[in-house]
Copies of this chain bind each other. A is one copy, B any other.
């Protein structure tokens, strides 16, 4: 094996904070909303329980990827989450690694399973 292949499939840039499935969904939905999303909207979009969403928001916030604002909406307390500039940058880097995974893997899966990959 070619020594230059060392770590070829390590994918070190798959940041664990972002890569976790629920957090990947939360970040993607927040990215589409410059003004942020409320706790209930996120719950709905990501199909998460209160406890899970709360736990993942804390992890994302502690990692500096999002900010959490406690405010009020129609007289009731409301939590709103927004992606930070740092979060946006780290997410873009993460996505470039995902693109690399697809570039590595799609050419070898498609010949035998084109039907399973609708966007090819």
Contact = CB atoms under 8 A, between A and B. Distances in A.
A60 interface: no
A63 interface: no
Contacts of A80: none
With most chain B CB atoms within 10 A of its CB, the pick from A8, A16, A92, A113 is A92
Interface residues on A, range: 35 or more
A20 to B, nearest CB: 8
Question: What's the dominant secondary structure at chain A's contact region?
Answer: helix
Given A21-B16, A46-B9, A96 B112 contact: no
Interface of A: 1, 5-12, 14, 16, 19, 21, 24-29, 31-32, 41, 44-47, 88-89, 91-93, 95-96, 98-106, 108-110, 112-113, 116-119
